[in-house]
Amino acid sequence: MNDIWIIITASLVAANAAILGSFLIMRRMAMVGDAISHAVLPGIVIAYFLTNSRASFPMLMGAAASGMIVTTFIQFFNKKVKLQNDASIGISYTFLFAVGIILISFFGSNVDLDQECVLYGEIAYVPIDTLFIGELNIGPRQFWILLTTLIIIVSAVIMAYRKLVLTTFDEAFASAIGINVVFWQYYLMAGVSLTTVVSFESVGAVLVIAFIAGPPATAYLLTHSFKRMIYLSILIGIVCSIIGYYTAVWLNGSIAGAISSVIGLVFAIVFAVDLFKRRQVSRQVTQTSN
């Protein structure tokens, strides 16, 4: 039963990340996801320390606060003192992440968080931490949190689907017809923050990026319809979670690490096939034209 819970948890993370990742990679903002996932750390740690629990709401508040701070820093460097964009982002999120790690080391013994967990999560422990209604065990806490998040993300994306697609494809046109481009950008970023925060415990900061970038990039090579790209990347994410889990068991290693290795492998296969097919086609074209 534990296997199933772990796989389901990973699949939920994969689904959340796939939906948002599809938008992010088409907006060339995959690395913004990376920055957010690192920058939320100090907020999470402080919330964790203050409430001494893994309650999701305080953590979300903490993460939101860190998110606001990192945005302020980026704005400060980029707009106020005119530092180039990539460096502004780079400085700001590494700083916050470093502060987060230092806080963890300080609180060390008081808090049941460690440095490694922050990076690659503790998905193996997910089944142990269960919720009860009265006497009834209704399954892992993480499962319920991630399921709720998935429902929120799915309904938010369905409600705003057209605006999100339009602002992703053609920002100038969207803004000419009166769509508030900046608002929808923040809307999406809010979703990304939510997803990274709730995925933190299970897969950690770096590996959530594997879920955000990997399956959507793979699906992008396979289809020409954006909707199908989303469905396909959810599917790829789930398949990778299953294979990844058993790989981890086989190698006796980190589950999250194994899943992202599998994500990389699946991408590599699809990429190679795609490249091969395109080479075939172009060869045929040159042959016929000769």
Could you tell me which stretch among 58-66, 187-195, 219-227, 282-290 binds other proteins (CB under 8 A)? Answer: 219-227
Q: Site for other proteins (CB under 8 A): which residue of 138, 154, 159, 273?
A: 159
Could you tell me which stretch among 53-61, 141-149, 154-162, 189-197 binds other proteins (CB under 8 A)? Answer: 154-162
d(CA 66, CA 193): 10
- Smallest distance, Å, CB 242 to other proteins? 16
- By beta-carbon proximity to other proteins, the closer residue of 195 and 261 is 261
Q: Strands 136-140, 130-133: parallel, antiparallel or unpaired by DSSP?
A: antiparallel
- By beta-carbon proximity to other proteins, the closer residue of 252 and 287 is 252
- By beta-carbon proximity to other proteins, the closer residue of 147 and 274 is 274
CA atoms within 13 A on the CB side of 175: 8
8 is written with which tokens?
Answer: 């389901």
**Residues in contact with 147: Cβ distance below 8 Å, sequence separation at least 6, in sequence order:** 12
Q: Site for other proteins (CB under 8 A): which residue of 2, 52, 94, 137?
A: 94
Could you tell me which stretch among 57-65, 136-144, 146-154, 267-275 binds other proteins (CB under 8 A)? Answer: 267-275
263 binds other proteins (CB under 8 A): yes
- By beta-carbon proximity to other proteins, the closer residue of 60 and 208 is 208
- By beta-carbon proximity to other proteins, the closer residue of 143 and 220 is 220
182 binds other proteins (CB under 8 A): no
Could you tell me which stretch among 44-52, 57-65, 136-144, 167-175 binds other proteins (CB under 8 A)? Answer: 167-175
**Chain residues 186-215 in contact with other proteins, contact rule CB under 8 A:** 206-207, 209-210, 212-214
**Chain residues 35-74 in contact with other proteins, contact rule CB under 8 A:** none
- Smallest distance, Å, CB 255 to other proteins? 9
- By beta-carbon proximity to other proteins, the closer residue of 53 and 115 is 115
Tallying the residues shown for the chain, one arrives at 290
- By beta-carbon proximity to other proteins, the closer residue of 142 and 167 is 167
Could you tell me which stretch among 49-57, 189-197, 222-230, 280-288 binds other proteins (CB under 8 A)? Answer: 222-230
35 is written with which tokens?
Answer: 């920055």
- Smallest distance, Å, CB 53 to other proteins? 24
- By beta-carbon proximity to other proteins, the closer residue of 48 and 220 is 220
The 8 Å CB, 24+ separation contacts for 98-104 are: 99/41, 99/42, 100/41, 100/42, 100/44, 100/45, 101/41, 103/42, 103/45, 103/46, 103/49, 104/45
